[in-house]
Chain A
Amino acid sequence: EPEVTQTPSHQVTQMGQEVILRCVPISNHLYFYWYRQILGQKVEFLVSFYNNEISEKSEIFDDQFSVERPDGSNFTLKIRSTKLEDSAMYFCASKGVLAGGDNEQFFGPGTRLTVL
């Protein structure tokens, strides 16, 4: 069964450093998302991406964040200058387009980001 994959599974970085989180969505999917989950809190929407541009972003997704689909398979989230409060689990998701407009987003296993 096709699945979304994410690397690395755990990233430790120093405050102020740049990090890139990588995702490989399901191959025929067209919509891509990033969510994050701070420990003990809700899973929160960050950004959606379609047709090589951002469709929607939340208030969390400020100028320090960017997304890119550098080739036909990867979808990346970059945080330019990490802050302590960026420590969270980051989930990538992807969605296809099926007849009837199915809304299911498939989630990857997540990358745990720890900012020291």
Chain B
Amino acid sequence: GENVEQHPSTLSVQEGDSAVIKCTYSDSASNYFPWYKQELGKGPQLIIDIRSNVGEKKDQRIAVTLNKTAKHFSLHITETQPEDSAVYFCAAILNRDDKIIFGKGTRLHILP
């Protein structure tokens, strides 16, 4: 089955700097890659997603890139702010399936 690996497990960046979280997936049949933000006491919330027919997508300070050949995808957060501190999960979904396969998560700390 699909396996998603995520790095780093913890990331600390100065406020205003950029943060990058990287993921790899194993099944080339995966075609949808959502990213979730989980704040304390809440469930995962979708923040951005990308489909396999697209290489890059941007939404304000957040961007995702996808390299299908290498089975890599990444989340980029620019001009980080204190409210960006949270746990971020990458995930993959196979076209024929419905279940989300999550990465292990990255705890992002934004330092003042």
Question: Once the chains bind, are B43 and A104 in contact (CB under 8 Å)?
Answer: no
> Total contacts A to B, CB within 8 angstroms?
51
Q: Which of B32, B42, B43, B104 contacts A103 (CB 8 A)?
A: B32
Q: Is B101 an interface residue (CB 8 A)?
A: yes
Within 8 A of A (CB), among B26-44: 32, 34, 36, 41-44
User: Within 8 Å CB of B36, what residues of A?
Assistant: 107
User: Within 8 Å CB of B99, what residues of A?
Assistant: 33, 45, 48, 56, 58
**Closest A residue by C-beta to B103:** A42
User: Within 8 Å CB of B34, what residues of A?
Assistant: 103-104
* 9 extra interface residue pairs, beta carbon distance < 8 Å, beyond A45-B99, A104-B49: A45-B100, A56-B98, A58-B99, A103-B34, A103-B98, A105-B46, A106-B46, A107-B36, A107-B44
Q: 29 A-B pairs, CB-CB below 8 angstroms? A: A31-B98, A33-B99, A35-B100, A41-B104, A42-B102, A42-B103, A42-B104, A43-B44, A43-B89, A43-B102, A43-B105, A45-B99, A45-B100, A45-B101, A55-B98, A56-B99, A91-B43, A93-B43, A95-B98, A103-B98, A104-B34, A104-B46, A106-B46, A107-B36, A107-B43, A107-B44, A107-B45, A109-B42, A109-B43
